[in-house]
Structure 1
Amino acid sequence: MNQPRKMKRLLSRSALLLTAASFLTLPLATSAFAGKEGVFLSDSVYFTLDKVALLSGSDEGSLRFSLGLNNNSRSTVDFNNYGVKVIDANGVTYTAKLNEKVTARVKAGETGTFKFTSAIPNNLSPADLKVDIFQWNYNDMSDIGALSVESAMVEAGQTLKPQAVLNLQEIDSNLSDNALVSTQLGQSYKVYKDGVWMVYTDLILENQSDASLKLPDGLELNFADGKGLTYGAQFVASVGTLLPAQPVKVTVQGAVPANVDTSKLSLLFSPKGKVKTTVLGTLNTAKSFAIAEIGDKVAYPNKDASTEPNGLQITTSWSAVNKQSDGLHVQANVTLTNTSEGIATIPTLTAEFQGVRTNVAVTTSDNAVRSSYLSQNESTTFHFQGILPASISTDALQLVVLEKQAAAATTGTQGTAGAGNTGANANSNASVLPVAVISLSSAGVGGVATSYAAAQDYKIGDKLPVNANTSLDSNVDFSLVELGMSENSDFGYKTIVAKYKLTNKGTSTLALPDFQSDLTNENGYIYSGVRQTNVAKNIAPNTSYVLSYSYLVPGLEQADKLALNLYDTNRLAVGSYKTAVQSVPSSGPISVYPFTINFDDYTLSSTYNRDTSYGYRLRLDLDVVRQAQVITDANFSTLAFEIVDSEGRLLTSKSMTFTGQQKIMSGVQYIDFGNVKSEQLNSGNKINIYEVVATPNGDAKRLLKTITP
């Protein structure tokens, strides 16, 4: 048996191969068949395999192919001297029958094409099959060689991806037996939409015949699960006229149970009402359900039937899930990158956050203004956010990215909507279809989606690592420099004051960034932060500015395990950091960043005024040290000195600042308190010293020290 040879040389006279309805003999055209497989009778006479179609029927499959007899010799070759059969990988042979009566004699310098069909089992793939050519020697067969079905498909540019070839004559007897349409499997998605779970499957349809045709109304589509249950499916949009050899991308949709096992799902093509008895073709969709993880770079699906990548890459570059009082706050950044050498159009994207084990979905969109195109290596990021029920755990979350697409994805004239194979949206102008499904299971920790559990470790004073995909200027560094808490017994709550240092590391003046902040304890309780009332508008290059936020927390809050969460003005997460409040030392220097204050000595005495009123005079011997060179202006916090009696009632108070008049400084200073009644003069009085931050909600006070005379 001769082995097939690859024609690596250029033939001076070679075959022009065409498939026709009957046998054709054509003059040879000069051509090169580099790499095409052939079985040679001699150096000038050889067989080639073309137009291979592997069909899957209800009971058995079939292999259709064209065998070319290329006669470059000077004499006629009689095909009657040769026979054809199909062999599988196990050596089992299958009869190949001619589809039509043709002339067997191929004249010198001509090519003859012979079309065959062979009945084969449904479970065979192209890699399993070969077309075997033998020579008749009276009643004996002498093998000459075999041609690989898989190689013929690859050489012809046919895909080896899962596909089914439908013989439409089995639905409409008025069609020719050559009315074949191949269906190639694309991507599949299981998503929650309009109250039901849906499966969407992309297909590429190609008319394998030599004339235009439409899918007959009698074609029915169904999804089938591993239990044999079927679920009706339809095309999302009307499928129009299919031109010969012109592939068209379409999408099929069907409602399925929430618990359907997609690893055992198939798409069935059958005559209407006969899915249980007659199946024209089957596509196993199990491996087409690809669910990406956060950080995975995935090729963006083509809008057309092209098999070449479009160069767009889609990545869920970041995601955060935080459990708050009003539900589960979910955020995700989806980045599109143009990896091609040309210009790529940016699609119109929306998204949904969905609970995989619950019938919950929240639609979200990014309304940011962006360019319509991406140049080579350019990227654009869509930010999506939503709030889901707090009971959903992160390991049951998925992000579905959707694109608004043109409804009609056909070539030629639009067909009318027929039952069973056309979409409910046939008359609409656009459809919103899934293009990616991303698991958000890695966005949380252990299924408990509190920001404290997901927060990164942080040491107060260090630079805060921030998410680069936010509106905050990258030339500004952030640091948490102080976090203190004190109790307000009059109102039954505690106050936490946080100080942030912002440093402009750029070369030009920048607007002082605006950001939001909250604190979350380990149980998921969230305390919103309020920014100080007045701040500077700008920050000069190579300088730092300090601003404060205050947080009201319950009286029982210990604040020993907190997550500090920062957001930009669009509520896009900047970062989440584990921290705890700092205790105030009972002795030694006290930090009021950027200063430290040491109370070296103090005395309190009463005074009698000329108007017969009484007062207090506080003598302080202070050591005030600026520990960092940062800007402190009139908006900086102040110190409040409050005299209270033994019951904690306020008698009188006085304020001092770190700038301007009444500035607190090193050395001996006197603070006078007036308007004290004689009956309020007693030995149980004490002085509370607070740092005070003015906020829109009132003054936030942090207790620094208590002086007892």
Structure 2
Amino acid sequence: MRIKWTRHIATAVLSTSLLALTGVYVNADEAPAVPASPNYHLTDAIKAEVKSVLNEQTPNGTRLGAVVRLYNQGSRITAVPEDEVRVRTDDGVEYALRPSTANAKAIMPKEKVELSYLAVVDREDPFTLSKLSWLDVDPYVYPRTEKLDLSIPIPSMEWHGDSADISNPSSIKTWEQSFTIPGLSNAIQYKPINILKQNTPQGPASVLTLLAENKGTTQQSIPDFRIDGKSATKVYNGKKVEKDAIRLEAGEKQYIHFAIPTQDKDELKSLNVLTLESFTADNQNVSYAIGRLNILLPDNAANLMFNQAEIYKKDTPISFDPLNKLIPANVNVLLEELQMHGSGKDGYKAVVAKFKLLNNSDQPKPIPNFSAELTNSSGYGYSGTRQSLGLQTLIPGINYVIYYTFVVPGSESGEQLMLKILDGVSAAPFNIPIAAIRTQIQSSPADDDLVFYPFHVKVNDFNIARTYTMGTPSYSNKLTMDMTISQDKAIVDPNFSKMRVEVSDKEGKLLGSQAFSLAGDNRLGTGDPAVTFSSDQLVTALTVKIYETIDTPYGEAKRLLKTMQY
């Protein structure tokens, strides 16, 4: 939509000068340009600097804008000069910019204010802006007089819109570099931490994590800015995830996050950092962004975290990001088991990760509600489903075991995996990694112990008793097993994995099956669990298999632990 107030500017100019036409001016009396120096003075007391320059082609014309900062160096309140602000093009044409109605009218002593100016001109050919000028215009004389108060060169400052490229070498950063944002506070330094693609109900999004650190000596607020993603052919506008204002004390660090919606197979090559500007007129607010920096993404961005993750050492606590807000420093999380379960003929497998949690404090703590994801060496990720929990509290000094299931394709070998622990709370609805380890599917022990961590089951003996029912061609069979069950020093939720015993004939036909719980009120203790089944004839060759079973969103998955022949 073309902004209507461009005509208002032209009308005002036509009423005061015969030299003006729709906001376009012939050159005013030339005055010596101010030397290229960071110190430009609009008056003796007011110092001026240009923050932003916009020269953007839109469907409704070319949008020209400028944001300037004025600093009152004096000891008295000073009115903002009522100068006319113009931009000058490389071909000598000048355009008047309209001041925002939100602009300050006066400046307090030692105060800095930002003033916004904007215009839309009916011009489609590309051009470059060379100067921003302040002119003292006297409309009450004829012909009207113009006095040039200040002119600032701006050829390298203009921004041509979201699709523009940032080519200044000093404004291009590598992934590893920390940076401050030109035009914003130099006290806050930013560093890219990771960028991960996630699926959302609205489609895929790349979620960027930045570490913000206050390098100053006083409290600082993180200003509003935007980060866009750039692929080889498109620009995707990002948005900061955090809604509330963030204030950092001197020396404090905190993560901030940006979500960048993308297309499924379009890979980002770089990121643009943009500051946000606004203009108000005729009860309309116009917002736009100015590109400041370009951050190059590494060639292997998708596998960057996989390559950096440390190989996990068993029986050691997982190392979490010290800035994470989900896992308390006095709670240890260990990966105790990572096993592959099958699903029969359904074509998928289930990886089961069992974590041991220990509260080292002297106060009860809630069980951390972390998420988990497995990623293989090819970059395919699989989200974990947490077991249903009845207990919600970690008692000090007691180990507690919970499990997560990951449904993976039947072709997944599990030889090279990265396990990420994710925080789904701090930047909801997105998941932010707070730990990552390299691991692989564990092999089952070769001894007689059946491990259902934290349970250990040993089958001492088993027997099958048969009873023939007179008058019917059927047998009643009862499998009994003498088992010894022990448990490591850890508690589990009643909704834990189970032990399933299956009996089949020599052709593999299933004759009987029974699931036994190892936790809860009806748990299996040391003794003789039994499986009963019927058969039409006397069966002499039987196979007994013992599985660990676990519930997944797609049904039951089981892992074979022992096979016995009878």
Task: Give your verdict on TM over 0.5.
Answer: yes
Query: After superposition, what is the alpha-carbon deviation per residue over 1:633-689, rounded to whole angstroms, capped at 9, x for unaligned?
Result: 533322111123445443211233334555243xxx433322322248352x42221
Question: Aligned pair 1:705/2:562, yes or no?
Answer: yes
Percent of aligned positions that are identical: 21
Alignment of 1:220 onto 2:87: yes
- SS state at 2:489 partner: coil
- Which runs of structure 2 are paired with 1:128-147 in the superposition (5 Å)? none
Residues 426-462 of structure 1: CA distance to partner in whole angstroms, max 9, x if unpaired? 85458465697572625xx624457645644323443
The 5 Å alignment of 1:477-556 reads 477-556=332-411
1:321 equivalenced with 2:182 (yes/no): no
Aligned position for 1:639: 499
Show CA shifts across 1:496-550 (max 9, x none).
1111111112221011111222222222323222222234111111222101111
For the Cα contact (< 8 Å) 1:451–1:524, is it kept in 2? no
Q: Secondary structure at the match of 1:636?
A: coil
Q: Is the 8 Å Cα contact of residues 646 and 686 (structure 1) preserved in structure 2?
A: yes
Matched, 1:298 2:180: yes
Distance 1:708 1:193 in 2: 79
Task: Call closer, same or farther: CA 1:267–1:472 in 2, change over 3 Å.
Answer: farther
Alignment equivalent of 1:605, drawn from 464, 472, 476: 464
**Is the aligned partner of 1:466 residue 2:333?**
no
- Does the alignment pair 1:446 with 2:300? yes
Shift of 1:485: 0.8
Partner of residue 594, structure 1: 454
The structure whose Rg is larger is: 1
The residue identity in structure 1 corresponding to 2:389 is N
Number of aligned pairs?
A: 492
**8 Å CA contact 1:292, 1:437 repeated in 2:** no
Please give the per-residue CA displacement for 1:575-619, whole angstroms capped at 9, x wherever unaligned: 2322211122454434321233444x5444341166865344445
CA shift for structure 1 position 482? 0.5
Corresponding residue of 1:673: 531
**Number of the residue aligned with 1:389:** 263
Q: Which residue is equivalent to 2:69?
A: 204
1:567 aligns with 2:422: yes
What amino acid is aligned across from residue 689 of structure 1 in structure 2? I
Q: Which moved more, 1:228-237 or 1:692-701?
A: 228-237
TM-score, normalised to structure 2, is 0.69
Residues 590 and 572 (structure 1), Cα distance of their counterparts in 2 relative to 1, 3 Å cut:
same
Distance 1:480 1:622, change over 3 A: same
When residues 673 and 623 of structure 1 are mapped into structure 2, their CA distance, relative to the original with a 3 A threshold, is: closer
Conserved? CA contact 1:619–1:671, under 8 Å: yes
Displacement of 1:706 after TM fit?
2.2
Change (3 A) 1:348 1:674: same
Given the superposition, is the C-alpha separation of residues 559 and 212 from structure 1 closer, same or farther in structure 2, using an over 3 Å criterion?
Answer: closer
Gaps of 5+ in 1: 1-56, 65-123, 126-159, 167-177, 256-264, 273-278, 303-309, 408-422
| Equivalent in 314, 317, 330 of residue 207 of structure 2 | 330
User: Which residues in structure 2 correspond to 1:567-586 (within 5 Å)?
Assistant: 567-570=422-425, 571-586=431-446
Among candidates 692, 695, 698, match of residue 549 of structure 2 = 692
Aligned to 2:6: none
Question: Is the contact made by 1:503 and 1:543 (CA closer than 8 Å) also made in structure 2?
Answer: yes
Contact 1:450 1:524 survives alignment (8 Å): no
1:37-58, CA deviations, whole angstroms, 9 ceiling, x for partnerless residues?
Answer: xxxxxxxxxxxxxxxxxxxx99
Change (3 A) 1:535 1:501: farther
SS at match of 1:576: strand
Of 658, 663, 684 in structure 1, the residue corresponding to residue 518 of structure 2 is 658
Aligned residue identity for 2:230: G
Aligned-partner Cα distance in 1 for 2:54–2:96: 14
In 1: Cα distance, 2:292 partner to 2:211 partner = 10
1:75-114 superposed matches below 5 A: none
Q: 1:294·1:315 contact (CA, 8 Å) conserved in 2?
A: no
Residue 528 of structure 1 aligns to a residue whose secondary structure is strand
Post-superposition offset of 1:380:
5.3
**Aligned-pair distance for 1:318?**
3.1
Residues 214, 249 of structure 2: 8 Å contact kept: no
Distance 1:293 1:686, change over 3 A: same
The counterpart of 2:153, out of the listed 276, 279, 282, is: 282
| Aligned CA distance change for structure 1 residues 311 and 498 (closer, same or farther; 3 Å) | same
Q: Distance in 1 between matches of 2:45 and 2:118?
A: 23
Per-residue Cα deviation, 1:389-431 (whole angstroms, up to 9, x for no partner): 344445x23263656x7x5xxxxxxxxxxxxxxx686854584
Any unmatched runs of 5+ in structure 2?
Answer: 1-26, 121-127, 136-149, 158-167, 426-430
Alpha-carbon contact 1:321-1:449 (below 8 Å) kept? no
State the alpha-carbon separation in 2 of the partners of residues 567 and 191 from structure 1: 41
Aligned-pair CA distance for 1:692: 2.1
Match of 2:49 among 184, 191, 194: 184
CA distance in 1, matches of 2:62, 2:181: 25
1:340 aligns with 2:217: yes
CA shift in 2, pair 1:398/1:493, >3 Å: same
Give deviations 1:222-256, integer Å, cap 9, x for gaps.
5x7xxx9999996884667688998653467899x
Correspondent of 1:355 among 206, 227, 230: 230
Instruction: Give the aligned residue type for 2:318.
Output: L
Query: What is the SS of the residue equivalent to 1:523?
Result: coil
Aligned to 1:400: 273
| C-alpha distance in structure 2 between counterparts of 1:471 and 1:398, whole Å | 27
Structure-1 separation of matches of 2:378 and 2:129: 45
Whole-angstrom distance in 2 between the partners of 1:193 and 1:635? 60
Segment drifting more, 541-550 vs 653-662: 653-662
- Is the CA contact 1:332–1:385 (under 8 Å) kept in the aligned structure 2? no
Counterpart amino acid of residue 560 in structure 1? E
Give the 3-state SS of the residue equivalent to 2:238 in structure 1. strand
TM-score scaled to structure 1, two decimals? 0.57
Aligned to 1:670, the other structure's residue is in SS state coil
* Letter matched to residue 676 of structure 1: S
Write the letter of the residue equivalent to 1:677: S
Q: CA separation of 1:438/1:332 partners in 2, compared to 1, >3 Å: closer, same or farther?
A: farther
Contact in 2 for aligned 1:641/1:689 (Cα 8 Å): yes
Q: Summarize the Cα distance change of 1:206–1:575 in structure 2 as closer, same or farther, 3 Å threshold.
A: closer
